Structure 1
Amino acid sequence: MEEKKKRLTNWLNTIQQDSWQLELIISGVVIFLLIGAYGPIVDYQRPLLIKVIGGNMASQLFAVGYFILLISYFTLLASFLLHLLLRGLWIGAIGLRSVSDDFDFEVLNFQPRFDGWLRRRLGSFDDYIERLENQCSIAFSLSFLLFFCVISLGTYLLFVGMINQLIVLLNGGFPESGSLAFFALQFVALMGYLLGGVYFVDFVTFGWIKKRKWLQRIYFPFYRFMGWVTLARFYRPFYYNLIDLPFGRKLVRWLWVIILAGLCVSSLVLVRNIYFPLQNRDGADRVNPGNYEENFIARPGFDAETVIQATIGERILTRDYLDVFVPYIGQMDNRRIEKKFPGLEPARIHSFVLEGIVGIGDQENDKADMDSLLLAFTSGLQLYVDDSLVVAPSWRFYHHPKREQPGLLYTMPTYQLGRGEHLLKIRKERVVSDSLVWRDNAFIYFYH
């Protein structure tokens, strides 16, 4: 047994001596793959946002998972870039050592005050190379630790969200304010944040809670449970091996401050046009280019306005008809229809389906009446042209090919309108505090 352990130790020591080569190869390959994956990852953001806004809580859970993976992506990329930079500095130091062995302070001939301070601070050049080697190895390991920590946070949030989703399913829908199920949702969210905060405090304080004798009986079962929920088995060996080093403890202690400072600096915006409004309350005194399909560009990122806003075909009309498209916003429109038409059969009967080679779940509900569904949708829409209500507009279900969204389309005749500027106002009915109210939804200028 001892001989086997000795051989393992010798083998690991041999691997350790040449680990820098493996680190460089892995860092280079990972950075190359991550940069190549940036385009597909960003391109998926808009379709995901459409599903989240038009879906239910399950879609929101999926979005949380995507956000966590996105944060993990940038964390891993930044960490490996830092490691590659440090390892390049280390290789440069090795190359310099082959030319100049060590510091020669006699040749530098500094004054005693500077000479003594530099000798104490720098030590030998070999010590500097050794410190760089240790820092490179720690940075490489820290990259994976950070990645799994972000994944750990994501799995915990998904766990809490799944419990909330289960409560919603058992209740038969999102609970009304003041109901028992609503308080259950609030309690689960509160306990999730509280217990997650306790576990996080223990993590960043290097096990302060685990060192308290009077807390071990209470905290140990919770610690084991959180280990399963957060997939801690993947990063605990890295974590405990890292924090028993002085440099590792210092790095972990300041890491969260560095991350927070980096987020704040990257989010800093200098506001120059202080008299130009960013967004008007009623929208009637601005022209929003996003309201015109001719200007529509599926920009990457989570730009919710481009998903929820209504659009018309063009700003300056070239024909006597104007296409008006109002997108379907699942959470908002579903609540209104369920409130106003409680017995209406939905068009689809399953929230989850499998399509392709394996097909499970029917998307279409044979009992649904399309005319009744269209009436339910259109009953919550009003169109005004120059403050005049458009009577009985002929709305139709429409899946917009450019926006890739479902919604309602009305091709409005404009040949009776005079020449010049006109204002199209769209009002939508919403559920606010368990009551149906009408709200202005869009103000769109066009020219005939």
Structure 2
Amino acid sequence: MMNRDSPKGKDESKLRRWVANLQLESWQLELLITGFSIFLLATGIGEYNEINRNIQENKLNPGANGLNPLLSISINFILDTIPIGMKFFLINLLIHLLLRGFWIGIVGLSSVSNFIDYDKLGFKGKFRKFMPENVRSLDELIVYLDKISSVIFAYTFLLVFSIISVVIVFAIGMSLMSVTVILSTSQELTVWVGILNLLAIFVVLFYFILAVIFFLDTLFFSAFKKSKWFSVLYYPIYRVFSVISLSILYRSIYYHLITTYKRKQIVGISFVLVIVLIVTLKADALDVNVFYPERTNISEQYMVDEVYDDLRADDHFIHRLSLPSKYVENGFLELFLRYNPKDNGILELLCPDSYKLSPEEGVMQGFKAGMKAQMDTTLNVDELIRDKNYEAKLIESLFCQTQIFEIYIDGELYPNPEYAFKTHSSNGERGYLTIIDVAELGRGKHLLEVKKLKAGGTARLRGVQTSDLKMEPMSKLNFWIQ
């Protein structure tokens, strides 16, 4: 037994008193963190959606060169799940703030009076015995609410981290699955490729089975760790997935809760919080416009503001195409068609010479060019860096790339449109600009339709072939000549 007068015993006693004082004053920290978190979440969800939209528009295009489509989908899944976790976090913190506010009100009331005079109330019959036995005193209510508020505060962080764990584990599994898709769609279907594909499928299935076992153990209050024989098999699974799911960061909270509180209490609180989240999400998705059509970009009967520069919000990206306005005043229609990295596989097939059009102007290349120019004064650094035939390559590449589009005005194919590369002023979207003379069409409403060569998702995974290409409608929109 350790002597309390020893230096180590004094340090532990001092630490215990410090922790005890911190626990008594923890409600102040809870309110401070809750209020600050609510403010950040309420203002940050919109900002995050904008950042997420920017990332997905410019960096995570499935099918782009160098980016595995399923890996891109996995990352998008994580990014799209974060706002749900943020809303769940916000709801729980609001509940915590409400309970803490109620708790503070009870504390203030108890300082005035802490006694309920049941004789003065004059209850009769069974109420005379039932009410004093089942109505908590203010002191008991203060302790009870304090405990519930602290549990919800800690439990909120536990649930949010648990959701993050599930998303991460699922995203890793989807990334592993991409290997099987690539092997199964490989053009070289040899015996070894087939064996590797079967092995990869087995690894993916084994991974998901182990992941399900890991999360079931968590849901069933560590039941697998209590099994005499299965715990031996489960131990390596637990160690691996503890790292993959990042549960090592929050498992202390989990074990504290399941050992301190009854299972039915934990299940009850979880059920209530999940119901609140589901109700909130359903309320956001509630649609009372049952007679209004689904939004579409390929119908002239539906006006989409995002395709007109003067109507599109500043934080919205151009997804397919854009016109300056739905009204044409000078007889020329400016059509911007966005370059989509999803089409890289198609462009690689049709325009292989257009790959890596941007000249590489790295530090070493510039240094070497500068050294050559110093040795030979007749040479120019810019000429050494840039390809002399670069302009001709641009013209040839522009013509080739824009062959994937077909433009129709009032149902008739517009012949030989002239294009130019353009970076749009909206949000820096890259694409192609063509200016169409529509002065002879006459005043009034007209229909612009754009078709585009497309290939299926499977074709993009294994490599696009000519037989995969099909010209399909991309967008229809109206414009008016004044």
Q: Could you state the TM-score of these two structures normalised by the residue count of structure 2?
A: 0.77
For residues 385 and 108 of structure 1, do their structure 2 counterparts lie closer, same or farther at Cα, with a shift above 3 Å needed?
Answer: same
Q: Which residue of 2 aligns with 1:232?
A: 247
Of 87, 95, 107, which residue of structure 1 is paired with 2:108?
Answer: 95
Q: Which residue of 1 aligns with 2:311?
A: 295
Of 20, 25, 29, which residue of structure 2 is paired with 1:13?
Answer: 20
Amino acid corresponding to residue 348 of structure 2 in structure 1: E
Supply the distance in 1 between the matched residues of 2:287 and 2:106 (Cα, whole angstroms). Answer: 44
For residues 230 and 249 of structure 1, do their structure 2 counterparts lie closer, same or farther at Cα, with a shift above 3 Å needed?
Answer: farther
- 5 Å matches for 1:258-273? 258-259=273-274, 262-268=277-283, 269-273=285-289
- 5 Å matches for 1:128-139? 128-139=141-152
Confirm or deny that 1:119 pairs with 2:132: yes
Supply the distance in 1 between the matched residues of 2:247 and 2:476 (Cα, whole angstroms). Answer: 51
- 1:196 positional shift: 2.5
CA RMSD of aligned residues (A): 3.5
Amino acid corresponding to residue 121 of structure 2 in structure 1: L
Q: Which residue of 2 aligns with 1:303?
A: none
Supply the distance in 2 between the matched residues of 1:2 and 1:26 (Cα, whole angstroms). Answer: 39
Rg larger for: 2
Q: Which residue of 2 aligns with 1:143?
A: 156
Supply the distance in 1 between the matched residues of 2:188 and 2:77 (Cα, whole angstroms). Answer: 24
Count of aligned positions? 428
Q: Which residue of 2 aligns with 1:395?
A: 419
For residues 373 and 201 of structure 1, do their structure 2 counterparts lie closer, same or farther at Cα, with a shift above 3 Å needed?
Answer: farther
Confirm or deny that 1:406 pairs with 2:430: yes
Q: Which residue of 2 aligns with 1:311?
A: 322
Supply the distance in 1 between the matched residues of 2:185 and 2:354 (Cα, whole angstroms). Answer: 18
Of 310, 319, 327, which residue of structure 1 is paired with 2:338?
Answer: 327
For residues 30 and 264 of structure 1, do their structure 2 counterparts lie closer, same or farther at Cα, with a shift above 3 Å needed?
Answer: closer
Q: Mean alpha-carbon deviation: is it higher for 146-155 or for 188-197?
A: 188-197
Q: Could you state the TM-score of these two structures normalised by the residue count of structure 1?
A: 0.82
CA offset digits 1:377-411 (Å, max 9, x no partner): 21210001111111111122222111431122111
Q: Which residue of 2 aligns with 1:197?
A: 212
For residues 287 and 189 of structure 1, do their structure 2 counterparts lie closer, same or farther at Cα, with a shift above 3 Å needed?
Answer: farther
For residues 114 and 338 of structure 1, do their structure 2 counterparts lie closer, same or farther at Cα, with a shift above 3 Å needed?
Answer: farther
Amino acid corresponding to residue 19 of structure 1 in structure 2: S
Gaps of 5+ in 1: 301-305, 354-363
For residues 157 and 270 of structure 1, do their structure 2 counterparts lie closer, same or farther at Cα, with a shift above 3 Å needed?
Answer: closer
Gaps of 5+ in 2: 363-384, 460-467
Q: 1:46–1:298: 8 Å Cα contact kept in structure 2?
A: no
Q: 1:321–1:415: 8 Å Cα contact kept in structure 2?
A: yes
- 5 Å matches for 1:32-71? 32-51=39-58, 52-53=60-61, 56-57=67-68, 60-71=73-84
Amino acid corresponding to residue 383 of structure 1 in structure 2: I
Supply the distance in 1 between the matched residues of 2:107 and 2:51 (Cα, whole angstroms). Answer: 44
Q: Mean alpha-carbon deviation: is it higher for 385-394 or for 213-222?
A: 213-222
Of 253, 270, 280, which residue of structure 2 is paired with 1:255?
Answer: 270
Supply the distance in 2 between the matched residues of 1:419 and 1:241 (Cα, whole angstroms). Answer: 75
For residues 190 and 256 of structure 1, do their structure 2 counterparts lie closer, same or farther at Cα, with a shift above 3 Å needed?
Answer: farther
Q: Mean alpha-carbon deviation: is it higher for 399-408 or for 230-239?
A: 399-408
- 1:120 positional shift: 3.5
Of 337, 340, 345, which residue of structure 1 is paired with 2:355?
Answer: 345
Supply the distance in 2 between the matched residues of 1:256 and 1:164 (Cα, whole angstroms). Answer: 32
For residues 382 and 62 of structure 1, do their structure 2 counterparts lie closer, same or farther at Cα, with a shift above 3 Å needed?
Answer: same
Q: 2:180–2:201: 8 Å Cα contact kept in structure 1?
A: no
For residues 320 and 177 of structure 1, do their structure 2 counterparts lie closer, same or farther at Cα, with a shift above 3 Å needed?
Answer: farther
Q: 1:428–1:439: 8 Å Cα contact kept in structure 2?
A: yes
Q: Which residue of 2 aligns with 1:275?
A: 291
For residues 182 and 380 of structure 1, do their structure 2 counterparts lie closer, same or farther at Cα, with a shift above 3 Å needed?
Answer: farther
Q: 1:243–1:252: 8 Å Cα contact kept in structure 2?
A: no
Q: Is the partner of 1:112 in helix, strand or coil?
A: coil
Q: Which residue of 2 aligns with 1:439?
A: 472
Q: Is the partner of 2:310 in helix, strand or coil?
A: helix
Q: Which residue of 2 aligns with 1:152?
A: 165
For residues 200 and 313 of structure 1, do their structure 2 counterparts lie closer, same or farther at Cα, with a shift above 3 Å needed?
Answer: same
